[in-house]
Chains A and B, each alone.
Chain A
Amino acid sequence: MNQILVARNGLARRHRTQKIMWGVFGLSSLINMAALVLICAFLLIKGLPAISWGFLTEMPRDSMTAGGILPCILGTIYLSLGTMVVAFPLGVASAVYLNEYARPGRTLRLIRLGINNLAGVPSVVFGLFGLAFFVTFFGLGVSLLSGILTLSILVLPVIIGTAEEALKSVPQTYREASLGLGATKWQTIRLVVLPAAMPGMLTGAILGLSRVAGETAAIMFTASVFFTPYLPTNITDSVMALPYHIYVLATAGTDIDKTRPLQYGTALVLIVLVLGMNLGAILYRARLQRKR
Chain B
Amino acid sequence: MALSRKTKDNLIRNAFFLTALSSIVALALIMIYLFVEGLPIFKVVSVTDFLFGNLWYPTSDPPEFGIFPLIAASLAVTVLSSAMAIPLGVMTAIYLAEISSRRTRNIFKPIVELLAALPSVVIGFFGMVVVAPFLQETFDLATGLNLFNAAVMLAFMSVPTICSVSEDAIYSVPPELKEASLALGATHFETIAKVVLPASLSGISTAVMLGMSRAIGETMVVLMVAGGAAMIPTSVFSPVRPMPSSIAAEMAEASFRGNHYRALFAIGIVLFLFTLVFNLVASHVAEKHKQVGAATL
Interface residues in chain A, defined as those with a beta carbon under 8 Å from any beta carbon in chain B:
14-15, 17-18, 21-22, 24-26, 28-29, 31-33, 35-36, 39, 42-43, 90, 93-94, 96-98, 100-102, 110-111, 113-129, 131-133, 137, 153, 156-157, 160, 184-186, 207, 210-211, 213-217, 220-221, 243-244, 246-247, 250-251, 260, 263, 267, 270-271, 274-275, 278-279, 282
The answer for the CA separation of A233 and B219 in the assembled complex, in Å, is 30
Q: How far is the CB of A186 from chain B (nearest CB, A)?
A: 5
Enumerate 19 A-B pairs (CB-CB under 8 Å) in ascending A order: A33-B108, A43-B122, A93-B16, A94-B16, A94-B22, A96-B16, A117-B27, A117-B279, A120-B278, A121-B272, A126-B30, A132-B265, A214-B118, A220-B248, A244-B121, A247-B121, A251-B128, A260-B129, A271-B118
**Listed residue (A117, A118, A124) with the most chain B CB atoms within 10 angstroms of its CB:** A124
- Count of B interface residues, CB-CB < 8 Å: 86
Residues in B neighbouring A270, C-beta threshold 8 A: 119, 121-122
Interface residues in chain B, defined as those with a beta carbon under 8 Å from any beta carbon in chain A:
5, 8-9, 12-13, 15-17, 19-24, 26-27, 29-30, 33-34, 36-37, 87-88, 91-92, 94-96, 99-100, 108, 110-115, 117-126, 128-130, 156, 159-160, 163, 187-190, 210, 213-214, 216-220, 223-224, 244, 247-248, 251-252, 264-265, 268, 271-272, 275-276, 278-280, 282-283
Q: Do A216 and B220 touch across chains, with their CB atoms under 8 A apart?
A: yes
Q: Do B219 and A124 touch across chains, with their CB atoms under 8 A apart?
A: yes
Q: Do B220 and A14 touch across chains, with their CB atoms under 8 A apart?
A: no
> Which single residue of chain B is at the shortest CB-CB distance from A87?
B22
Residues in A neighbouring B112, C-beta threshold 8 A: 32
Q: How far is the CB of B135 from chain A (nearest CB, A)?
A: 15
Q: Do A14 and B187 touch across chains, with their CB atoms under 8 A apart?
A: yes
Q: How far is the CB of A217 from chain B (nearest CB, A)?
A: 4
Residues in A neighbouring B15, C-beta threshold 8 A: 93
Residues in A neighbouring B36, C-beta threshold 8 A: 132
Q: Do A42 and B130 touch across chains, with their CB atoms under 8 A apart?
A: yes
Residues in A neighbouring B111, C-beta threshold 8 A: 32-33, 36
CB-CB under 8 A for A97 and B122, given A42-B130, A121-B217, A217-B219: no
Beyond the given A250-B129, A263-B129, A278-B114, please list 19 additional residue pairs across the A-B interface where CB-CB is below 8 A: A25-B99, A28-B95, A43-B122, A94-B23, A111-B24, A114-B24, A117-B27, A119-B279, A122-B271, A125-B275, A129-B33, A160-B23, A186-B9, A215-B119, A270-B119, A270-B121, A271-B118, A275-B114, A278-B113
> Which single residue of chain B is at the shortest CB-CB distance from A279?
B114
Q: Could you tell me the dominant secondary structure of chain B's interface residues?
A: helix
The answer for the CA separation of A110 and B48 in the assembled complex, in Å, is 32
The answer for the CA separation of A263 and B160 in the assembled complex, in Å, is 26
The answer for the CA separation of A188 and B200 in the assembled complex, in Å, is 38
Q: Do B30 and A129 touch across chains, with their CB atoms under 8 A apart?
A: yes
The answer for the CA separation of A217 and B123 in the assembled complex, in Å, is 14
Q: Do A94 and B271 touch across chains, with their CB atoms under 8 A apart?
A: no
B119's partner among A33, A119, A160, A271 (CB-CB below 8 A) is A271
Q: Do A282 and B110 touch across chains, with their CB atoms under 8 A apart?
A: yes
CB-CB under 8 A for A156 and B219, given A101-B16, A128-B268: no
